[in-house]
Amino acid sequence: MHTRRPGLVARLAGLIRGTFAGWLRSREESNPRAVYENAIAERAAQYRELKYAVAGILYMRNKLEAELDERRLELARTLEDLRRAVDRGDDPLALALVARKQDLLADLEHADRELASLRQEAEEAKTNLLRFRDEIRALEHEKGRTLASLANARARRRIQEALAGFSVDADMRALEAVREHAARLAGEGLLDRELAGGSGLDARLQRIREESRHEAAERELAELKRQLAARTLPGGAARTDLPLARAALAGA
């Protein structure tokens, strides 16, 4: 019994699939930005679809809440009509109103259960929507970090190639890439400092502290002058204390 060998068409199809997969992988590795952007765009489209579905659930919830309010008002009017019918002794009308009241109560009970289910479904849908949005944002942050890391790796590789004896043009391109990256990092650090100190709180706090130290020094100087003026010792002793006062002020 001979083992059946794969046909030529199947082998050719496998070869084409393997070749295409390798080519696609190579294109993806050479253009990671496009890969990330495609993944983000796909998730963004799914997010919009989910958002539309959640909006439908919220619409049904709000509509049912409005219907419940109307039924409660109708129940209140029915109870008032029933009271008047009983007061007037109109039993046929009273019986009809009792039946109407029972129907309204049954509808309200059913609507309350449906509304509770809709509310729970709406909360779960909103939670999933927020989680999906956070995943998209996380993917965008990952894209930035990955692209920056790849840029750094490529810059280092170009520098190594230049040092290994490649052309001056390649060396200059590598240096320009490194300089650009360093300038961007410096700009990001400056932006972070500007954002952190945008309110001017640190500067104002520093000025307040400096004013407080200055006022304390002035008070201490005034006190020392008062003490020196109040002394009744001979002039020589008073002059001896003056350097001590100056030293104390310098220490403040």
| Structural contact between residues 10 and 110, judged by C-beta atoms closer than 8 angstroms | no
Separation between Cα atoms, residue 241 and residue 225, nearest integer Å: 11
Query: Token digits for 68?
Result: 């419940």
Separation between Cα atoms, residue 7 and residue 49, nearest integer Å: 44
The residue type found at 244 is: L
Nearest to 188 by CA among 251, 136, 153, 144: 144
Backbone angles phi, psi at 4, to 5 degrees: -75, 120
Residue ranges of the domains in the chain?
16-196
Q: Which H or E run contains 198?
A: none
Reported as a pLDDT band with limits 50, 70 and 90, residue 73 is very high
Average pLDDT over residues 181-188: 73
Query: Token digits for 57?
Result: 């659930």
pTM here is 0.42
Q: Residue-wise over 179-196: b if at least 16 C-beta within 10 A, else e?
A: eeeeeeeeeeeeeeeeee
- Per the listing, tokens 């490649």 go with 166
Separation between Cα atoms, residue 21 and residue 73, nearest integer Å: 66
Average pLDDT over residues 144-150: 81
Predicted local confidence at residue 122, as pLDDT: 85
Lowest mean pLDDT among 80-89, 106-115, 144-153, 193-202: 193-202
Residue 75 pLDDT greater than 80, yes or no: yes
Query: Token digits for 231?
Result: 């002394």
Nearest to 145 by CA among 191, 137, 186: 137
Separation between Cα atoms, residue 50 and residue 38, nearest integer Å: 18
In tens, the pLDDT along 83-105 reads 888 888 888 888 888 898 899 88
| Structural contact between residues 57 and 121, judged by C-beta atoms closer than 8 angstroms | yes
Which of 230 and 30 is assigned the larger pLDDT?
230
CATH architecture of 16-196: Orthogonal Bundle (1.10)
Predicted local confidence at residue 237, as pLDDT: 45
CA distances from 51 to 38, 96, 132 (A): 20, 46, 10
In tens, the pLDDT along 220-242 reads 888 888 888 887 545 544 444 55
Which of 8 and 105 is assigned the larger pLDDT?
105
CB atoms within 10 A of CB 16: 10
Query: Token digits for 143?
Result: 């894209």
Q: Does residue 164 sit in helix, strand or coil?
A: coil
Query: Token digits for 196?
Result: 């952190």
Percent of the chain at pLDDT above 90?
A: 2
Q: For Cα atoms 51, 54, 55, give the angle at the middle one, nearest 5 degrees.
A: 85
